[in-house]
Amino acid sequence: MQRTIAALVASFGLLALGAPSPAPAQGASPAIAEDFKPSSLNQPGQDYPQVNSQGYVRFRVTAPQAQSVKATLGLGGQGGTVLHKADDGTWVGTTSGPLDEGFHYYHLEIDGGVFNDPGTRNFYGSTRWESGIEVPAHDADFYALKDVPHGNVQQILFPSPSTGTQKRAFVYTPPGYDANQSARYPVLYLQHGWGEDETAWSTQGHANLIMDNLIAEKKTRPFIIVMTYGMTNVIRPGEPGGLAKFDIKPFQAVLLDELIPYVDSHFRTLADSDHRAMAGLSMGGMETKTITTANPDKFGYVGLFSGGSFSPEDVANAPGFRDEVKLAFVSYGSRELDRRAVAPPGAPSFDPVANHEALKASGFNSVFYVSPNTAHEFLSWRRSLREFAPLLFRD
């Protein structure tokens, strides 16, 4: 377990979760196109932050008497974007390069304090509510809000004796769930990453819209998705070694002993392992690997999004896994795989591609997906869900 975490931390840039990953410099940077538009995530009526057609982001913050204003979005290693005071008392700055397509977390540093950008909405990441910005992706259509039948996202509150609380989860029910009273549905348990919470997949992840669109195109079987909080032993922000202190047991107890029975008794599910899947991003992938290898009789399909991989040894050391599990899906953003060449000295070896090929050669149904030109961020995971969903519950 500790080795798994160390591997994630060292090789997957897990601790950089939430940091933007710009495209690598392509020699001389091109002229900045002055076609900036407000980000789709801005608060109502707010003109800034803005994004241009190349993926540059421009910030504008009002703080007339401030001494310094910085945005944490920018080229890696350069510490974000320093804003400069304009004549009208606002602070303005543009990233030194284009950002990857998709969603990025960020915040402002004002006079040495950390605050959110009042221009945009907040999203829970890095164990705090962060500012968010969306760089329009060329393939954004697959998670767009369209005039198709929509499923619902329900907040449920379920009793959790193991934690002595009523815990929250969000449940996506597909279009027609309420109309087809006789139908029963498979369930995917889908986990967020470190520092995020149960709101991530249905907000910045657009899991509901991805499913609505896949179902409208008949590319996937309609199924239920359940999203709950995975950092059951709460880690205080800034606590050293927070991730290393993570313990899977409290979350596994909530998931297996409390949430799954609640969902199977309150929704029209197909309550067997052939119709139950688990997947997660980043730390959620680590949780998925740990829980499914220890409980292969409970899950028929497994997905790790930027959160580890399965080697033949992993499968050999998980009695029942090879017989019970019908699919092991592993995905990464292409820029994460690029990091294999620059893994820190002494970091555990990291080659999910080799693991996938060896597992597949052993006769296991292993599927590997690479999200083009994305890093350890949500566009990698939105695409991973789009690729994963059609492979599930093929009776």
Q: Which one of 229-237, 304-312, 333-341, 372-380 is the stretch in contact with a copy of itself (CB under 8 A)?
A: 229-237
For residue 192, what is the DSSP state? -
Phi, psi angles (nearest 5°) of residue 342:
-120, 25
- Residue placing its CB nearer to a copy of itself in the complex, 47 or 297: 47
Decide if residue 234 touches a copy of itself (CB under 8 A).
yes
Q: Which one of 10-18, 63-71, 220-228, 383-391 is the stretch in contact with a copy of itself (CB under 8 A)?
A: 63-71
Least distance in Å: CB of 69 to a copy of itself?
A: 9
Nearest of 171, 168, 167 to residue 154 by alpha carbon: 171
Cβ atoms of 69 and 83 closer than 8 Å: yes
What six digits make up the tokens of 99?
């950002």
Decide if residue 245 touches a copy of itself (CB under 8 A).
no
> Exposed, middle or buried, 41 (CB in 10 Å: 0-12/13-18/19+)?
buried
Decide if residue 88 touches a copy of itself (CB under 8 A).
no
Q: Which residues of 200-232 are buried (b: 16+ CB within 10 A; e: fewer)?
A: bbbbbbbbbbbbbbbbeeeebbbbbbbbbbbbb
Least distance in Å: CB of 370 to a copy of itself?
A: 31
> Exposed, middle or buried, 271 (CB in 10 Å: 0-12/13-18/19+)?
middle
Decide if residue 127 touches a copy of itself (CB under 8 A).
yes
Q: Give the CA radius of gyration of the chain.
A: 21
Decide if residue 104 touches a copy of itself (CB under 8 A).
no
Q: Site mask, a copy of itself, residues 156-175, x = CB under 8 A?
A: xxxx------x----x----
Cβ atoms of 280 and 230 closer than 8 Å: yes
Decide if residue 180 touches a copy of itself (CB under 8 A).
no
Decide if residue 45 touches a copy of itself (CB under 8 A).
yes
- Residue placing its CB nearer to a copy of itself in the complex, 27 or 237: 237
Cβ atoms of 289 and 200 closer than 8 Å: no
> Among 116, 162, 163, 252, which residue sits at the site for a copy of itself (rule: CB under 8 A)?
116
- Residue placing its CB nearer to a copy of itself in the complex, 89 or 372: 89
Decide if residue 206 touches a copy of itself (CB under 8 A).
no
Decide if residue 240 touches a copy of itself (CB under 8 A).
no
Segment 209 to 228, residues that bind a copy of itself, using CB under 8 A: none
- Which amino acid is it at 365? N
Decide if residue 237 touches a copy of itself (CB under 8 A).
yes
What six digits make up the tokens of 170?
């969000």
> Among 67, 88, 141, 346, which residue sits at the site for a copy of itself (rule: CB under 8 A)?
67
Decide if residue 121 touches a copy of itself (CB under 8 A).
yes
Edge to edge, the sheet with strand 57-62 lists: 37-38, 50-51, 57-62, 90-94, 81-85, 69-71, 108-110, 113-115
Decide if residue 316 touches a copy of itself (CB under 8 A).
no
> Among 31, 179, 341, 342, which residue sits at the site for a copy of itself (rule: CB under 8 A)?
179
What six digits make up the tokens of 239?
């606590």
Residues that bind a copy of itself (CB under 8 A): 43-46, 61-68, 89, 108, 110-116, 118, 121-122, 127-129, 145-147, 150, 152-159, 166, 171, 178-179, 181, 202, 208, 234, 236-237, 239, 266-268
